[in-house]
Every structure is written in C-alpha cells, then in structure tokens.
Amino acid sequence: MELPQQDPPPKVKTAPQRPETVGRPPLGSAGEIPWFRGQLGGILRDGPTFGPRKDEFLPFLFVRANAGDSGARPLNDVFWESPDIYVVPGQEASTAPLQPASTGGVARANGPNTLYAHVWNLGKAPAYRVRVEFYWFNPSLGISRADANFIGATWVDLGNRFNNATEWREVDGPSGRYLSHGCHAIVKCPETWVPSVVNGGHECLVVRVHEPMLDAVPPDQFSAAADRHVAQRNIAVVPSASPAAIDLALLLGYVGQPGNAEVEAVLDAPDAMQWLKLYTGRTDPGLQLPANPVSYGLSPAVVAESRLQRLEVLPFELRQGLLQRVEKVRRGCDPQAIPFHASIADIKRGEAAVLRVRQRMNGTVIGGYTVVLIGS
C-alpha cells in the first residue's frame, strides 16, 4: 500500500472544556493579564491543550457506520454495514458518472465495479486536500492492515459544518471532479475494482478518510469500531429464487494478544437492517422474515485457506445438525477462519433473512459480517 505517512501521528492533550474558559478572570480586570501570561507559559512549557474537538477550530472527518452516526467512537454494536460505501456493478470507473446509479448495488464477481464513498466534515474548520482511500478484504471478522488490498485513492475539499449547501454541485477538486454538498461529498474511486470469483464477489470494503496535518489517522488503523476515519461494508447479498444458500469462510483476522474469542451467528428481521433501504431504494423495504425455516450456523474454526466444506450440496434437512450458533475459538498468532453456512429451501419474493456473524473478545465486538438471503 502506498501511504503518505509511515509513523503514527503524535497524541495531543485534551480537556473536557476549552482551557481558555477555565478560571478566566472577568474581562478588563487586573487579573486578566497575569492569567493570560500563565496560559502562554503553560503552552511553551508543556505544549497546547485542546478542548473537545467539536469546539476547536479543526476539521472533524468521518464516514458513517450507520444512518444516525455523527462520529462518536468507540462502537460495540453493528459497525460493518456502512451506508456511505456504494458499489455500482458492471461499470468501469473511467466512464462512471459522478453520481452513483444506485446506493444499494451489489458487487459482481470477475467483472468491473465502480466504488463511491460519502465523506463528512462536522468540524468548525474546513478541510482541504482530504485523502479518501478504498480497500478490499477477503470476507473477515477482523479487519487489519495485514490483509488490506489497496484499490485507489482520491482527494477532496470539504467545508466546515456550517457550510451545508441546498443541493449537490459538481466541483473540480485536487484530483478530479466530485459532488459536493458543502461539508460532505460523494467521491468516486478512480480505479475499477474487479472482485475475485473465488468468494463470489462477497468481499469486504473499507474506506478511510483523513487529512494528514489537522485530522490524521494512524497508517495501521483499519477498525471502524474504534476510529471515525474508517468505515466498513461487510455485506453479502444472495438474491435468489428457491432454494437460497451460501457457504463462506470468514477470516478471524489478527489480534494484539492471544486469548479466547466467541463467534456467534444470529438471525435478525429485515427491519433491523437499515442498509436494506438502500438496497431496495425504498424508505420501507417491505420485507418480511421467511415463513419457512432458515438453516444457518457455524462450523469449528480451521486454518485459514483450508478447503471449505460446502453444506449446500447436502439435503436441507441434514444441514442444521452440523451447525452451531456459537463457536469458541482460541486465538493465537496463526491465521484462522470459521466456516459459515445459511440456506432456506423455499424463499418467496418479499421475504428476507438477515444473518449477522459477530466475533467478540472480552465482551467487545471486534468484527462482524452480514449475509442477506432475499427472495427474488
């Protein structure tokens, strides 16, 4: 990967409120000048201390993890279904329009796909030459730089949070044209993405947004749960007439320290997934849980790159007996994967099953992946 900064940015000191508002004497009083000299002396001696970032004249860049996201981190719920990462299948980036044809497109394996990102600045200061990076990963429950595959990058300028235009407009930016709405913008990845047919196109996508001087991100930071500069879209959609099935090997990623992990598979109702509004293009997707049973679950963890046993070739009534809803995994240094299967013998139009797989360590969700079986 070509990253502009190899060393992590230095940590800055912060306080619950802006330091110049603490203990300040009344305006024009005799104590105001000595107080001001003390403030300058403290900065020269120990460096500056900042108040909450939202109160400082700084940019506040982020990509949303969910529809109501305003950049607060960390997150300990579903953070891998970003509504700000778009895919337009069957389209070369060089000929794709600035406005994506749809915001709920699904990647097409072994063919051209164009990626877009919706990036935000809610700081008091504008941000210039903001770098937007696009990556793909094999299906994973733990995203890290070690598995990152760089696709492309572009640059945009963003106004401050008070600069919210009334409509989208085309802008000639630092590296090409993009759509601006003042403090947020939609940008197109300049490089075409061709996902591997090995995983059926069910890869993970990651977008990072940062400005290296005033709102940087460490080069190793790829966690959307921990950092507002990072967003993930780990979603596999299986539109199908009956039967519908998927077998997928989910990588467990890398951890800082060995320990015990718990991987859980859960069936959720369609209205629990906001992203389906983008997929269907409707405020109310109108999808219901399938009337017939869904077979889903996990198999014991294996060494990464092991041959995947495909349960979809077995009779439907035998599959659930081979699967567990929860698997305990001892995490070490070796790369591991956990097989996931979901299927339904009879799914009808208007039905959808949302299956979320979470990996937890010490009670904290460190990664997840979502599979949607949807009748077509």
Ordered domains of the chain (ranges, CATH): 61-233 (2.60.40.10), 236-375 (2.60.40.2310)
Structure tokens at 49: 């201390």
344, pLDDT greater than 50: yes
Task: Report residue 3's pLDDT band, with 50, 70 and 90 as the boundaries.
Answer: low
Q: Helix/strand/coil (H, E, C) string of 13-49?
A: EECCCCHHHCCCCCCCCCCHHHHHHHHHHHHHHHCCE
84, pLDDT greater than 50: yes
How big is the chain, counted in residues?
A: 376
58, pLDDT greater than 60: yes
What pTM value is reported for the model?
0.90
Predicted confidence at residue 204, as pLDDT, reads 96
Task: Report residue 8's pLDDT band, with 50, 70 and 90 as the boundaries.
Answer: low
251-274 mean pLDDT: 95
Task: Kindly report, residue by residue over 279-333, the tens digit of the pLDDT.
Answer: 999 999 999 999 999 999 999 999 998 888 899 999 999 999 999 999 999 999 8
What share of the chain has pLDDT > 90, as a percent? 80
DSSP code per residue over 71-131: S-----S--SB-TTEEEEET--TTT--SS-S-SS----TTS-EEEEEEEEE-SSS-EEEEE
